[in-house]
Amino acid sequence: MRFVIALSLGLMASLIMPPNWASTLSPAEILKQSDAARGGGLPGITWNIKLIAVDGDGLQERGLTVRARGNDSLVEFFQPPKIKDQKLLTVERNMWFIKPGLRKPTPISARQRLVGQASNGDVAATNYSGDYQATLLGEEVINGESCYRLELTARESRVTYDRIIYWVSKSRQVGVQAEFYTVSGKLFKRAQFEYGNQINYRGKSIPFVSKMIIMDEIDKNNKTTLEYSNIQVSELPDQIFNLQFLTR
């Protein structure tokens, strides 16, 4: 009789308790879900970034607009005036620097430092699931929030980082913290993410990143903040990501 009662209570609990959103998802699917809050999986998205860097060079600021679709993105600088209209174009992990008056676009790496602790790929990339292989390492509480702890390893050398440890909120389905490692396994940067923005897509409200704070693990005084605003979801024409069109 006790066994029957216990079994019945167990069945009732299983019906009442809501399933965890990631209980049936693979690490790759968890990562893909979290990408939506950074622009992944959308037909096209545009946003502005105010980049503020504090390091040994003092205070530096940049204003830029990013347009992204899948693995392609176009970054256009509008502040300060001396770099206005400079561009970074990424097409399927290939990246070029475009400058007014420069006869030919210059191939560059997503890993190159842009300003402060921000790499070129930090402002251009939205798609971790396309660039990295995910492995679930376990679960951990970050700032009072239960998270999945993922290890991301680069699929190829052209992506921004060799290895990332990435914490994804179990309840909000967004990345909340990241650690960035060199190929030798050395931790050299750490980032935290905030999600004060919202976007609407197919009738669904999706949280969108509002701030990314990147900290230097070697010199704790070096910090770079990326503030995201004016987010718009819409299809983007092919010519935006056409190198020939942009360099006419």
Handedness of CA 71, 199, 52, 219 (dihedral sign): negative
Where residue 158 sits, what CATH number does that domain have? 2.50.20.10
Antiparallel, parallel or unpaired: β 145-154 and 163-169: antiparallel
CA atoms within a 13 Å half-sphere pointing along the CA-CB vector of 69? 12
Task: For residue 241, report the phi and psi dihedrals to the nearest 5 degrees.
Answer: -110, 25
182 domain residue, yes or no: yes
Whole-number pLDDT of residue 22: 44
23 domain residue, yes or no: no
How much is the mean pLDDT over the chain?
88
**Mean pLDDT computed over 58-67:** 96
Domain that holds residue 83: 29-246
Please give the tally of structural domains in the chain.
Answer: 1
Joined tokens for residue 64: 């830029």
- Alpha-carbon distance of 173 to 209, in angstroms, equals 12
Closest CA to 122 of 191, 182, 208: 191
115 domain residue, yes or no: yes
Joined tokens for residue 41: 């999986």
Range from 5-19, 55-69, 162-176, 197-211 that averages highest in pLDDT: 162-176
* Tens digit of each residue's pLDDT (9 = 90 or more) over 206-228: 999 999 999 999 888 899 999 99
86 domain residue, yes or no: yes
* Tens digit of each residue's pLDDT (9 = 90 or more) over 182-202: 989 999 999 999 999 999 988
5 pLDDT band, cuts 50/70/90, is: very low
CB-based contact 28:41 (threshold 8 Å) = no
156 domain residue, yes or no: yes
128 domain residue, yes or no: yes
215 domain residue, yes or no: yes
126 domain residue, yes or no: yes
Whole-number pLDDT of residue 23: 55
Q: Kindly report whether the global pTM for this prediction surpasses the value 0.85.
A: yes
* Tens digit of each residue's pLDDT (9 = 90 or more) over 98-122: 999 888 999 999 999 999 999 999 9
* Residues 6+ positions from 21 with CB-CB distance below 8 Å: 33, 170, 171, 173
Whole-number pLDDT of residue 247: 81
> Is pLDDT at 176 greater than 90 in this prediction?
yes
